[in-house]
């Protein structure tokens, strides 16, 4: 997969897996990662799907309606890519934390729904429920920060709550942070995510 890898100065921190939103690319979330943990290594990936020229991580049938078969295929593909990259670049595969926005947050959530040890944690900005009717693996070693907008036109409040409930039921440690706005990512959420990251991974 097209990507950028940058080794960080602090090898004890998790490697940050950066996953952009629809129409984005592997450059997009680098400033965000620098705000959250400048000293961490990053693996920033471009989604393999193109929708009218816009990169994405999996196909959708309509806005908010996912192509489930493709979602599962792409989730496995990304999971394997992270494993190969750990080999190539020499980072710890068991210590990877995703930072995803929108479509990128959705595939990060999907990694958690389908694979037990794919991610040590995740910062999910404006994520949806990736899939329904599946049993999640035991996520007792997984910590998740969810940033959401109370007036997100793409993601009803109830859907974010359903995502939180699914993850908690699978024993993940979940922190929610709500902003008054919509689907856009705002600075307040990024600051909260940084606080959460520091508390969770710098102890």
Binding positions for ligand MLT, rule: CB under 6 A: 21-22, 60, 63-64, 102-103, 106, 128, 154
170 three-class SS: coil
CB 15 within 8 A of CB 33: no
In terms of CB distance, is 37 or 105 closer to ligand MLT?
A: 105
- Give least dist CB 156 to ligand MLT, A: 12
User: Does 152 qualify as catalytic in the annotation?
Assistant: yes
C-alpha 134: how far from chain center: 19
| CA distances (Å), origin 55, targets 73, 138, 145, 163 | 16, 31, 24, 24
Given the residues 41, 102, 110, 118, select the one marked as catalytic.
Answer: 102
- Give least dist CB 107 to ligand MLT, A: 8
In terms of CB distance, is 106 or 143 closer to ligand MLT?
A: 106
In terms of CB distance, is 131 or 192 closer to ligand MLT?
A: 131
| CA distances (Å), origin 174, targets 25, 70, 143, 144, 199 | 27, 27, 6, 5, 13
Which residues are catalytically annotated? Answer: 102, 152, 183
């Amino acid at each position: 997969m097209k990507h950028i890898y940058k080794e960080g100065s602090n090898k004890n921190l998790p490697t940050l897996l950066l996953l952009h939103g629809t129409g984005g690319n592997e450059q997009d979330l680098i400033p965000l990662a620098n705000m959250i943990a400048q000293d961490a290594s990053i693996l920033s990936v471009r989604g393999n799907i193109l929708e009218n020229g816009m990169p994405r991580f999996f196909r959708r049938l309509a806005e908010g309606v996912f192509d489930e078969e493709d979602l599962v295929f792409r989730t496995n593909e990304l999971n394997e890519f992270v494993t190969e990259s750990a080999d190539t670049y020499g980072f710890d595969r068991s210590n990877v934390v995703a930072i995803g926005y929108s479509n990128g947050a959705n595939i990060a959530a999907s990694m958690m729904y389908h694979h037990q040890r794919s991610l040590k944690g995740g910062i999910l900005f404006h994520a949806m429920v990736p899939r329904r009717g599946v049993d999640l693996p035991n996520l007792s070693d997984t910590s998740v920060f969810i940033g959401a907008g109370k007036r997100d036109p793409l993601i009803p409040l109830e859907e974010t709550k359903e995502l939180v409930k699914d993850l908690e039921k699978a024993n993940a440690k979940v922190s929610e942070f709500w902003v008054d706005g919509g689907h856009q990512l705002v600075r307040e959420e990024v600051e909260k995510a940084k606080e959460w990251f520091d508390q969770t991974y710098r102890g």
